[in-house]
A and B are shown apart, each in its own frame.
Chain A
Amino acid sequence: MTKALLAVVGAAETTQMGTIPNLSQIGLQADAALNACRDAGITPQQVDGLALAGGNPVDLAQYLGMAPAWVDGTPVGGCSFLMHVRHAAAAIRAGYCQTVLVVHGESGRSRIGKPPPPFTPDPTSLAGQFEAPFGGIVPPTMFTVPVLRYLHTHGLTPAALAEVVVAQRRWAALNPRAKFKEQLTVDQVLADRPIAWPFTLPMCCPQTDGGGALVLVSPERARDFPGRPVFVIGTGEATETGMISQMVDFTTSRAFRASGRAAFDQAGISHSDVDHLMIYDAFAHLPLYGLEDLGFCAPGEAAGYIAAGHTSPGGRLPVNTNGGGIAYMHSGMYGMYVMQECVRQMRGIAPAQVPGARVSVAHGVGGMFGAAATLVFTNEG
């Protein structure tokens, strides 16, 4: 493994999760930021770098009483926060700032201080002209469109998607904060209410309120903070398309492959080094694409790997150990929670702790296969 790029010295989610009627979106962001700062033993006034998506970092800086020397508002969807971590590594190395807060907070369910749905695309945009008129408007009718081609190519059925739900509900049952803990069978998942065939309701994420934040410093400063540091040793980012219809190959994400490769190469790790994996799952197909595009499974083999129990509790590669976006929570931009679970696992404090885990990978998607970001964490520094 290579030298650490960053140390995570503070990590926290919002005090509450799920339905939070007493906080607006900026209030959720502040709650998460203050919790992460307390975890690091500092205040926001001691932080000189701020990254935020789902709002303007200028507004949050003022709200928290910060005067940052560096800000990043890269907004590529749910994996923005993973990209912010990558960008923060470069900024800290360049000397632009010393301590970075990466913040997410979203009133995805209560929608307080957030524009109401449905969010229709700008009618002059290419998606607005060439996708929205055909009903490709909301994630359940866009993100799902490639999947039939994937299933057809590999001779699979919708049961492949149901297996993902069954496996992740096992993890959710171990997590007190998970929204959906009920155990389901493949048949029950397939018989549930159709949302966008072949997707049924349990294959789709809920919309909830919540947030999270990380405090990042150079690895050299990690020991100045009270908690057990977690190190970032590899990072990757990539984009493909803002139009799902223009994804090059519906059976594989170019952005997933490029981002994953960059992160693994930078970390100097191979797949057998990975003890724990988080794959952003707004919908049940993403762990299939993620396992294959990151190189853990050959094309078409992820569903069988999951059905065999390899990603479930006790399996050889625990995946989405908080229950995932489809069972834990999903505020809209879920990437922050992927990283929070990686940090908990590396600190050894996860509700469903993977015994002895040393290397954890976070993989996020932005938009509908629009962008990707990958991070490699370790607790060995």
Chain B
Amino acid sequence: MKPQGRLMPKITPETSHFWQGCKEGKLRLQRCDACAHTYFPPRPFCPVCAHDRVSVVVASGRARLYSYAISHIPAPGLEPPFAVAVVTLDEGPRMMTNITGCPQEPGFLALDMPLRVTFLDLSDEVALPLFTPEGAA
């Protein structure tokens, strides 16, 4: 039997700019034209002030490790142990991700460590934004 891949996102109209950006190697966020709040996940209005004029902005790709748990339970396309991580982007929003390019052990996963985005190509439509320790190859 073919090994099962990761659970794949199914892109919706409100999120297509984000996933298209990932395929182009860009991490796209949205920023409110009225109050300048930068946010994620995508939606066509500001979650702080409800303004409906928002712009797509490209994030720096820099982030810090906010928290994680190291799963010893198998998940589709992921071999345990693997860290289910949440990072804080330099622009402010947080996102769930995996940390790649380092052992999945607490000693290598220090909270607040600097990270940068990297993209894992999965299909013609989807590349997942993962993060790797700053300075790693």
Contact = CB atoms under 8 A, between A and B. Distances in A.
Interface of A: 120-121, 123-124, 126, 128-138, 140-142, 144-149, 152, 193-199, 243-246, 250
A137 B7 contact: yes
B67 A148 contact: yes
A245 B73 contact: no
Contacts of A198: 69
A54 B98 CA distance: 32
B8 A123 contact: yes
Output the residue of A123, A129, A250 with the most chain B CB within 10 A: A129
Between A123, A130, A135, A250, the greatest number of chain B beta carbons within 10 A of the residue's beta carbon is seen for A135
A135 to B, nearest CB: 4
Q: Is the interface of A mostly helix, strand, loop or mixed?
A: mixed
Given A133-B8, A137-B75, A146-B67, 4 more contacts: A128-B9, A128-B10, A135-B6, A196-B72
Contacts of A244: 86, 96
B15 A129 contact: yes
27 contacts: A121-B7, A123-B7, A124-B10, A128-B9, A129-B11, A130-B41, A132-B7, A133-B9, A134-B85, A134-B97, A134-B98, A134-B128, A135-B75, A137-B7, A138-B73, A141-B71, A145-B84, A145-B86, A146-B67, A147-B69, A148-B67, A149-B111, A152-B67, A193-B72, A194-B70, A196-B84, A246-B94
A195 B128 CA distance: 25
B68 A243 contact: no
A262 B69 CA distance: 32
Contacts of B67: 145-149, 152, 250
B56 interface: no
Nearest to B95: A245
B66 interface: yes
Instruction: Point out which of A123, A138, A148, A244 has the most chain B C-beta atoms below 10 A from its C-beta.
Output: A148
Contacts of B106: 197
A126 B66 CA distance: 20
Contacts of A152: 67, 111
Contacts of B10: 123-124, 128-129
A48 to B, nearest CB: 40
A144 B69 contact: yes
Contacts of B126: 133
A244 B68 CA distance: 11
B81 interface: yes
Closest 10 pairs (CB-CB, A-B) = A129-B9, A149-B67, A123-B10, A135-B75, A197-B70, A245-B96, A144-B69, A196-B69, A132-B7, A141-B71
Name, among B7, B69, B96, the residue most crowded by chain A CB atoms within 10 Å (CB to CB): B69
Nearest to B15: A129
Interface of B: 6-12, 15, 41, 66-73, 75-76, 78, 81-82, 84-86, 94-98, 106, 111, 126, 128
A145 B7 contact: no
Contacts of B15: 126, 129
Nearest to A141: B71
B58 to A, nearest CB: 18
Nearest to B99: A134
B15 to A, nearest CB: 6
Contacts of A246: 41, 94
A141 B84 contact: yes
> Among the interface residues B7, B11, B97, which one has the most CB atoms of the partner chain A within 10 A?
B7
Nearest to A146: B67
Contact of A133 (B6, B41, B68, B85): B6
A244 to B, nearest CB: 8
Given A135-B75, A197-B106, A243 B69 contact: no
A129 to B, nearest CB: 4
Given A133-B128, A194-B72, A149 B9 contact: no
A245 to B, nearest CB: 4
Given A123-B10, A136-B84, A148-B67, A130 B96 contact: yes
B69 A134 contact: no
A336 B87 CA distance: 35
Contacts of A144: 69
A194 B82 CA distance: 12
Nearest to A138: B73
A193 B73 CA distance: 11
B84 A134 contact: yes
